[in-house]
Structure 1
Amino acid sequence: MARPRPPRRPHAAPRSGSRPPQGLPDRETLLAFIRESGEADRSDIARAFGLRGSDRIALRDMLRDLQDSGELGRRGRKGVALPGDLPPVGVVEVVERDADGELMVRLVKGEDTPLVRLAPDRSEAASGAPGLGDRLLVRFEGLESGETEARLIKRLGAAVHRVLGVVRKSARQVRVEPVDRRSRDQVLIEGLAPPDLRDGDLVVARLVPGGRRFGLHRGEILERVGREDDPRAASLIAIHAHGIPTGFPEAAETEAEAAQEADLKGREDLRDLPLVTIDPPDARDHDDAVFAEPDGDASNPGGWIVWVAIADVAAYVRPGSALDRTAREKGNSVYFPDRVEPMLPERLSAGLCSLRAGENRACLAVRMVFDASGRKTGHRFVRGLMRSAAKLSYEQAQAAIEGRTDEVTGPLLDRVLKPLYAAYAVMLDARRRRSPLAIESPERRILMDSEGRIASIRTRTVLPAHQLIEEMMIQANVCAAQTLEARKTPLIYRVHDTPSLEKVHALADFLGTLGLPWSKGEAPRTERFNRLLEETRESPSAAIINEVVLRSQMQAIYDTDNIGHFGLNLDRYAHFTSPIRRYADLIVHRGLIRALGLGDDGLTDRDIAQLKGTAEMITAAERRAMAAERDAIDRYVAAFLADRVGATFTGRISGVTRFGLFIRLDETGADGLIPISRLGGEFFVHDETAHALVGERSGAHWPLGLPVEVRLVEATPVTGGLLFDMLSDPVKGAPPPPRGRGPKRPGAVDARRRGGPPPGVRKGKRR
């Protein structure tokens, strides 16, 4: 990881003894002023140099030039600083976990600043750490190694003042126990609690300002949201804990209820095309349908025509309407094992915008032409009226292709399903040549019973039917981006950045410990990652290599600036295929309607003016939804395992940190912690390069990806926490060299003379 500049002193104007001369400064003087200030905005600079009128305009142009040349970085809307500079104290966001499971933060107002490791609180276990998406106030501290570490001062946002928790009543007091396993601070309810408040109620409590300096936080109960013993409590907790918007304003519901079925006016009649929807068996909405047939054009022998029809949500959700405002705020639908919090009211999401079999539905469709090698040779968009021929599940479609038809798929086999799979076969050839990332990331599928309890947890099996739909949707999304670019219509791209040099270097260092070559100077390419994964697929290290490659990737986001999609290995990509559940897709639909003259309900000038802000909002909403869905699943899994405390499980080490090991179970995919205190009575050194904990005395190794057997010690459904004991033996190895306290020995490194660990190695905690 690149080393950020050490933190500067707190922001302030230069001291009077070094006051700058009055008048428009030259570039060197301006940079020196900003370097001394640490951070400044245009008003600060103009005031310091006494600038007025045209000089202020010239200053603005000078600052813009310095930013364009990379000599200055932006801080928020108006601030500037030297690129990569960190203040002594700043607001950060937790943006990712590194390969060892430790949290990385980035300055909220500094896009050019590097990722910085968040130092764990040594007085707490792993449950004390913040989570992804949290905003924190931190102090940046330079280490002797030259790196910078962020130390938590306090968490920011509503969560600091509101606590979601479970009521614990006693004869003398009422307390609220937080459901967030990262917090151990209970809240003592002051004054009279609601008379019907019961032990085990899920409540939202507000911290009372000006409480006592010592002892429990004081608070008051704002609302009750459910019961701890409700089988569906996990999703309720996730919704409230992450601030997921719920329900719809009356105006939005009224607009949805007033919506009418579409007719053929202004639309192409596609009802004769036997389009089918293929979705999970428990899908709550159906916004895409597909059909394929051989291309009858003699100039394209062996070619295929593929139709992808998408629900025309733009026909019902007009710009500036109550439905539009609500959908933009929500950003996306949020899916839990037992419920969905939809982006649109049910009248639309499960009704008029859902492509139900046998019912007329408005759609925006793309007709794509592929040659015999799978190369797309052309496409066109139409606004149409369609009627789905059937609703199929992935398993149903795959079974039919394998010879196991039923009453629905039997009549469709030759006319619909076989052509779809034949078209996919040529598209697959092109996909293989494109070589998108082939990282394996198993997905858990939670099956619920009629009472809302977990019946089983399985790893989702990926079928060719899944891959068929995925590839056809990808190609439709590419067509949308290409069309809007060609028509010079602004759009929101789905972008995925190339892995950073820091991550690539860390990957190369790790692979070096396994004897696998990787040139640090080689530009990251998807085919290079895929070759590594393929060459090691049958090796004992396959799981850990897959995990480290996955963690070396950046997160995809929405943006109005196109940098391509690294994971899919595409130059341009936009989300078009799910407007029922993603606002980004609705914006792309409106862009196509405007660009192609398909109606008066396309992208407006106001939409375009706020496109950048919209991209940021829906990216944040996506992160919020992912965190809520993940937390709910963790709680459901903990509830599922609660009656199996004491049982043994097989799994793998999925995270290695200074405070312990994270274990992922093979059976359920559940993640839990083994604190370092339960690994043995010796000091452990955290070897960052090898992603392992190493016993200082025995040399025992606990590396990332190691298959292990563990015993479940504790399962806490309300927090989703799992605690394990290790039953397996570590990998044997030589202990690290002794770290003497005497004078520096010949050849010893400075870190050892200081009594610290060797470079790249940090010492764990012994309890």
Structure 2
Amino acid sequence: MNKNNKTSNLRQQDPFLQREQQRYEKPLPSREWISQVLEQIGVPLTIKKLAKTLSIHRSEFDFFERRIKAMVRDGQAYINRAGNVCTAEKLALIKCKIAAHKDGFGFAIPLNKTGQKDLVLYARQMQGLMNGDIVTVRPSGFDRKGRQEGQVLEIIERANTDVVARVYMEHGVWIAVPEDKRLSGHIILEASAKQPSVQSGQVVVVKITAYPKAHHPAMGVITEILGNYADSGMEIEIAVRKHHLPHVFSDACLTASKKIPKTVRKTDLKNRVDLRDLNLVTIDGETARDFDDAVFAEKIGRNFRLVVAIADVSHYVPEGLAIDIDAYERSTSVYFPRRVIPMLPEALSNGICSLIPEVDRLCMVCDMTITSTGNIKTYQFYPAVMHSKARLTYTQVAQWLESKETHPLEKEINTLHKLYQVLSKKRHQRGAMEFDGQETQMIFNDEGKIERIEPIFRNDAHRLIEECMLCANVCAAEFLLSHQHPALFRSHLGPTTEKLATLQEQLALVGLHLEGGSDPTPKDYAQLFTQLEGRADKTLLQIMLLRSMQQAVYEPNNQGHFGLAYDAYAHFTSPIRRYPDLLVHRAIKAVLHQQTYQPKHSWQEMGIHCSHEERRADEASKDVENWLKTYYMQDKIGEVFEGTISGLTGFGLFIMLDGLYTEGMIHISELGQDYFNFRPEIMAIEGERTKVSFKLGDRVVVKVARADLDNCRVELLLISGGSKGKTARTKTIDSHNTKQKESKKPHQQKNKRAPLKKPIKNNTNKSKKKQAI
């Protein structure tokens, strides 16, 4: 065969040709085949030469060029400075997302390579980059800490088009300072552009017109004035834009949501099990607005029957339509104090998909038989129609269980409680961890200011619902695995080698040891958790243990859930507020209909996306909470409090203040008449001359010196504390006098804050009962 014939046949040899023919009337060579041909040729080619090699007709060239550029955008290929196309695999190129640090360095997080660790980027490599940018990176050497470094070759996609910032006039030039500290460098506002009337210090949204280069800052124009920094609710407006949270539903989505029926129709009942006579109830927090799960239990001989009914969101949200597109973009509801950004429009989340009492609702059911020893003997999934008999609260159910008072649902609630006791015992046998972290809620006054911060105490009603949800989630994972159907699993891995070594060193300093050697099991962790009871540093040690494990993620490869001690785990119970749950529902339905669910995006891509959106929502919520707590501390400047050392760093101590559930910091230079150094080998900050030391869990007395809203930081001064017989400061105070307010200096007076338009008296945060580790 001559060379020309061989070349013309190259296109016909594409192993994915049939797939391309199904998608396109005039199919181009597949991406996989283009990469393979480039690798076989062994040298980079221009797009024109590559097109000739693959027999691309002149009329097809524009489309072929777009495909090549799409491959570059997705990190599958790279076009070098000479204009030649190279395969990403050949050059070891990785498509990454930039995670910038406020100190100038950053990390390149791989997007489409499993098992590839993050690559560190130092200041010179970060020049011209912004947090969230999508780039092509080539691994280079290793730094002194043994971390893989990276070299950024190309910026594929800019993440920041609009930035929330505060504006100032400096030397006759308007500059915008981003609220996101990871966006280092100021943005110069274009003098030639027509800017809206703005006052110095106001919060605005700036559209970037020119991105930063090596020695030139970014340029931009103001597109929206949000208001003054201390306006009520501004912290949420900033967080939403800072973290680029989708918060406005598309017109197409809102139009589609108006067509959603408000009641269950007769046509919806086809092929559904009728559970309307079953005493299913919802149990949630007092302030919950959407109810996506209902439970029922009964005793059958020695076994229990547990029915977990979940709102059938997938019935109303077909894949690929407007509501689904918006839901996937959000991937999760975001909960702030006093405000929720829902994943689904209100017509669904608070309407037809909310299991409110005394109305018919469509649901997906996990119907289980559980033995007296807590083992799930059998289970089945099916679509159903239900009629909730009551909307109960945790407090109400806990009071019923404690007082033994009679009520219409006494039999069902008592049976649920007995089942919980069985499941709780099984949980301990399994080796799942019992983390009793202290959750809090903010109580607001009519002006939108925090009146107080209260602890949330978990009771048996919380734990009862949690165990029911865990059972359903485990069954969902097993069901999909047994039918070999792809899905997103909730994977949670144990400690890495590095984190485990650090943890063992830290535990040794407080007289503890984690069993299991180099490969501890969940049961080893759970056993250590039990040893923390009664210790003053219990909460700090629990956090230390949790941080030693890897972060839970969504991924198609089931790797089990270390924290819960499950071999397989999937999220099934909250499709109103979590997109992965909606995907699990669709997959289960496909299996029930003996079909295979093929989503629009790849499972791997969806897992990465949903995990990222979850982290982004958590970061935004944390930002708002920290700002509100800092604002709360403004009128406590000069007051004295007792507290516990909750963290140690090279620059100081973090103190959790008693009764305020707020953390403050003492700078290392403020610890006393000595030079203090952080000594990680003994987990302490120690004075060179006095040998006075500060360790995790130590008690101190402090005074509130400053509440810095710009950096969301409460600065403290040490009054007394420290070990080795001496205190870092000689001043002491009586315990009964630790909250006496000292007179404020004029410059310490707090900013006045504009009142809310409508008084809000409580927190609208949904309980985190079902959010597993």
State TM-score, norm by structure 2: 0.74
Separation of aligned partners in 1, 2:712 and 2:639: 18
After TM superposition, list the pairs within 5 Å mapping 1:244-283 onto structure 2: 244-260=245-261, 261-262=263-264, 263=266, 264-283=269-288
Partner of 2:757: none
Separation of aligned partners in 1, 2:448 and 2:40: 63
Deviates more, 1:416-425 or 1:174-183: 174-183
Separation of aligned partners in 2, 1:116 and 1:691: 28
**Counterpart code for 2:484:** K
Considering only aligned residues, what root-mean-square deviation do their CA atoms show, in Å? 4.1
Separation of aligned partners in 1, 2:134 and 2:569: 30
Separation of aligned partners in 1, 2:664 and 2:141: 30
Deviates more, 1:237-246 or 1:536-545: 536-545
**Structure 1 residues 413 and 652: alpha-carbon distance in aligned structure 2, compared to 1, 3 A threshold:** same
Separation of aligned partners in 1, 2:418 and 2:699: 40
Separation of aligned partners in 1, 2:698 and 2:228: 39
* Structure 1: gaps spanning 5 or more residues: 1-40, 57-74, 122-129, 296-300, 735-767
Separation of aligned partners in 1, 2:235 and 2:138: 30
Partner of 1:487: 483
**Structure 1 residues 328 and 682: alpha-carbon distance in aligned structure 2, compared to 1, 3 A threshold:** same
Deviates more, 1:710-719 or 1:212-221: 212-221
The question of whether the paired residues in 2 share the 8 Å contact of 1:493 and 1:558 is answered with yes
Deviates more, 1:322-331 or 1:199-208: 199-208
Give, in angstroms, the shift of residue 359 of structure 1: 0.9
Partner of 1:68: none
After TM superposition, list the pairs within 5 Å mapping 1:730-745 onto structure 2: 730-732=722-724
**Structure 1 residues 204 and 488: alpha-carbon distance in aligned structure 2, compared to 1, 3 A threshold:** same
Separation of aligned partners in 1, 2:637 and 2:452: 17
Deviates more, 1:522-531 or 1:712-721: 712-721
Partner of 1:368: 368
Give, in angstroms, the shift of residue 692 of structure 1: 2.4
Give, in angstroms, the shift of residue 108 of structure 1: 2.7
Give, in angstroms, the shift of residue 223 of structure 1: 1.6
Deviations 1:234-292 (Å, cap 9, x if unpaired)? 11111110000012112212222112233322211111111111111111210000111
Separation of aligned partners in 2, 1:138 and 1:716: 40
After TM superposition, list the pairs within 5 Å mapping 1:110-129 onto structure 2: 111-114=114-117
**Structure 1 residues 486 and 517: alpha-carbon distance in aligned structure 2, compared to 1, 3 A threshold:** closer
Partner of 1:604: 597
Separation of aligned partners in 1, 2:218 and 2:587: 51
Separation of aligned partners in 1, 2:208 and 2:341: 28
After TM superposition, list the pairs within 5 Å mapping 1:292-441 onto structure 2: 292-295=297-300, 301-403=301-403, 411-441=407-437
Deviations 1:11-46 (Å, cap 9, x if unpaired)? xxxxxxxxxxxxxxxxxxxxxxxxxxxxxx978865
**Structure 1 residues 224 and 559: alpha-carbon distance in aligned structure 2, compared to 1, 3 A threshold:** same
**Structure 1 residues 193 and 709: alpha-carbon distance in aligned structure 2, compared to 1, 3 A threshold:** farther
**Structure 1 residues 604 and 212: alpha-carbon distance in aligned structure 2, compared to 1, 3 A threshold:** closer
After TM superposition, list the pairs within 5 Å mapping 1:578-597 onto structure 2: 578-597=574-593
Deviates more, 1:165-174 or 1:456-465: 165-174
Deviations 1:71-120 (Å, cap 9, x if unpaired)? xxxx98974599xx999x9975479x9xxx99995653665455688999
State TM-score, norm by structure 1: 0.75
After TM superposition, list the pairs within 5 Å mapping 1:663-742 onto structure 2: 663-680=655-672, 682-717=674-709, 719-732=711-724
Separation of aligned partners in 1, 2:149 and 2:661: 31
Give, in angstroms, the shift of residue 539 of structure 1: 3.6
Give, in angstroms, the shift of residue 549 of structure 1: 0.9
After TM superposition, list the pairs within 5 Å mapping 1:623-662 onto structure 2: 623-662=615-654
Give, in angstroms, the shift of residue 450 of structure 1: 4.3
Deviates more, 1:632-641 or 1:183-192: 183-192
Instruction: Give the secondary-structure state (helix, strand or coil) at the position aligned to 1:165.
Output: strand
Deviations 1:538-594 (Å, cap 9, x if unpaired)? 345434422321210111000000110001000111100000001101111111111
Partner of 2:240: 239
Separation of aligned partners in 2, 1:117 and 1:730: 37
Separation of aligned partners in 1, 2:109 and 2:325: 29
**Counterpart code for 1:585:** D
Deviates more, 1:634-643 or 1:285-294: 634-643
Instruction: Give the secondary-structure state (helix, strand or coil) at the position aligned to 2:622.
Output: helix
Deviations 1:575-628 (Å, cap 9, x if unpaired)? 000000011011111111111129xxx863344x62221111111111111111
Aligned length: 645
Deviations 1:315-344 (Å, cap 9, x if unpaired)? 100012111111111111111111111111
The question of whether the paired residues in 1 share the 8 Å contact of 2:442 and 2:454 is answered with yes
**Counterpart code for 2:597:** T
Partner of 2:26: none
Separation of aligned partners in 1, 2:382 and 2:529: 41
Separation of aligned partners in 2, 1:322 and 1:207: 28
Separation of aligned partners in 2, 1:728 and 1:162: 47
* Structure 2: gaps spanning 5 or more residues: 1-34, 54-74, 78-86, 125-129, 727-773
Percent identity of equivalent pairs: 32
Give, in angstroms, the shift of residue 198 of structure 1: 4.0
Separation of aligned partners in 2, 1:183 and 1:333: 25
Equivalent of 1:502 in 498, 501, 518: 498
Give, in angstroms, the shift of residue 401 of structure 1: 1.6
The question of whether the paired residues in 2 share the 8 Å contact of 1:102 and 1:117 is answered with no
**Counterpart code for 1:638:** T
**Structure 1 residues 660 and 340: alpha-carbon distance in aligned structure 2, compared to 1, 3 A threshold:** same
**Counterpart code for 1:572:** A
Deviations 1:716-755 (Å, cap 9, x if unpaired)? 3454232222333323399xxxxxxxxxxxxxxxxxxxxx
Partner of 2:438: 442
**Counterpart code for 1:639:** Y
Separation of aligned partners in 1, 2:441 and 2:150: 37
The question of whether the paired residues in 1 share the 8 Å contact of 2:432 and 2:564 is answered with yes
The question of whether the paired residues in 2 share the 8 Å contact of 1:513 and 1:690 is answered with yes
Equivalent of 1:570 in 559, 566, 570: 566
Separation of aligned partners in 2, 1:254 and 1:726: 58
Partner of 1:108: 110
Deviates more, 1:619-628 or 1:109-118: 109-118
Give, in angstroms, the shift of residue 524 of structure 1: 1.5
Partner of 1:532: 528
The question of whether the paired residues in 1 share the 8 Å contact of 2:195 and 2:221 is answered with no
**Structure 1 residues 94 and 290: alpha-carbon distance in aligned structure 2, compared to 1, 3 A threshold:** farther
The question of whether the paired residues in 1 share the 8 Å contact of 2:292 and 2:573 is answered with yes
Deviates more, 1:614-623 or 1:693-702: 693-702
The question of whether the paired residues in 1 share the 8 Å contact of 2:303 and 2:372 is answered with yes
Separation of aligned partners in 2, 1:236 and 1:575: 30
Instruction: Give the secondary-structure state (helix, strand or coil) at the position aligned to 2:633.
Output: helix
Separation of aligned partners in 1, 2:715 and 2:183: 16
